Amino acid sequence: MDIALIRELKTLLGPENVLSQKEDLLLYEFDGSVEKGRPEVVVFPHGTEDVSRIVKLAAKHQVPVVGRGAGTGLSGGALARGGGVMIVFARMNRILELDLLNRRAVVQPGVVNLDITRAVEHAGLYFAPDPSSQKSCTIGGNVAENSGGPHTLAYGLTTNHVAALELVLPDGEIVRVGSHHGDAPGYDLCGLFVGSEGTLALVTEITVKLSLKAGSVMTLLAIFDVVGDASRTVVEMTAYGITPVACEMLDGWTLRAVEDFIHAGFPRDSAAVLLIEVEGLREASESQAAAIREICHANDAREVRTARDERERELLWKGRRNAFGALGRLAPSNYVLDGVIPRSKLPEALEQIHAIGKKFGFQIGNIFHAGDGNLHPIVLYDPRDTEQFKRAIAAAREIIRMCISLGGSLTGEHGVGMEKNELMLLVFSDADFDLMRRIHDAFNPDSSLNPGKIFPLSKGCGEIHVRKSGPAAASPS
User: What is the structure's pLDDT at 467?
Assistant: 54
CB 78 within 8 A of CB 30: no
Same domain, 309 and 341: no
Q: Would you say residue 314 lies in a domain?
A: yes
Residue range 226-253: average pLDDT?
95
> 308-328 pLDDT, tens per residue?
999 999 999 999 999 988 988
Residues 6+ apart with CB under 8 A from 23: none
Listed residues 268, 290, 320: the one ending a domain: 320
Q: Which residues of 266-283 are buried (b: 16+ CB within 10 A; e: fewer)?
A: bbeebbbbbbbbbbbeee
> 13-63 pLDDT, tens per residue?
999 999 999 999 999 999 999 999 999 999 999 999 999 999 999 999 999
Report the CATH number that the domain containing residue 376 is assigned in CATH: 3.30.70.2740
Same domain, 206 and 124: yes
Same domain, 129 and 201: yes
Same domain, 252 and 314: yes
> 369-393 pLDDT, tens per residue?
999 999 999 999 999 999 999 999 9
Same domain, 195 and 227: no
Same domain, 149 and 207: yes
User: What is the structure's pLDDT at 458?
Assistant: 80
The average confidence (pLDDT) of the chain is: 94
Report the CATH number that the domain containing residue 284 is assigned in CATH: 3.30.70.3450
Q: Would you say residue 286 lies in a domain?
A: yes
Q: Would you say residue 373 lies in a domain?
A: yes
> 210-228 pLDDT, tens per residue?
999 999 999 999 999 999 9
Q: Would you say residue 57 lies in a domain?
A: no
Q: Would you say residue 181 lies in a domain?
A: yes
Residue range 286-309: average pLDDT?
97
Separation between Cα atoms, residue 85 and residue 6, nearest integer Å: 9
User: What is the structure's pLDDT at 457?
Assistant: 92
> 122-151 pLDDT, tens per residue?
999 999 999 999 999 999 999 999 999 999
Q: Would you say residue 292 lies in a domain?
A: yes
Q: Is the predicted pLDDT of residue 474 greater than 60, yes or no?
A: no
pLDDT band at 461 (very low <50, low <70, confident <90, very high): very low
Same domain, 206 and 223: no
> 68-110 pLDDT, tens per residue?
999 999 999 999 998 999 999 999 999 999 999 999 999 999 9
Same domain, 100 and 195: yes
Beta bridge partners of 212: 125
Same domain, 102 and 206: yes
Among 134-143, 341-350, 451-460, which stretch is predicted with the lowest mean pLDDT?
Answer: 451-460
pLDDT band at 464 (very low <50, low <70, confident <90, very high): very low
Listed residues 320, 349, 379: the one ending a domain: 320
Same domain, 236 and 290: yes
Q: Would you say residue 161 lies in a domain?
A: yes
Report the CATH number that the domain containing residue 123 is assigned in CATH: 3.30.465.10
Half-sphere exposure of 415 (CA within 13 A, CB side): 29
Same domain, 99 and 204: yes
pLDDT band at 439 (very low <50, low <70, confident <90, very high): very high
Q: Would you say residue 46 lies in a domain?
A: no
User: What is the structure's pLDDT at 477?
Assistant: 33
Separation between Cα atoms, residue 205 and residue 213, nearest integer Å: 25
Listed residues 286, 320, 354: the one ending a domain: 320
Per the structure, the complete domain to which residue 245 belongs is given by 216-320
Same domain, 145 and 200: yes
The total number of structural domains in the chain stands at 3
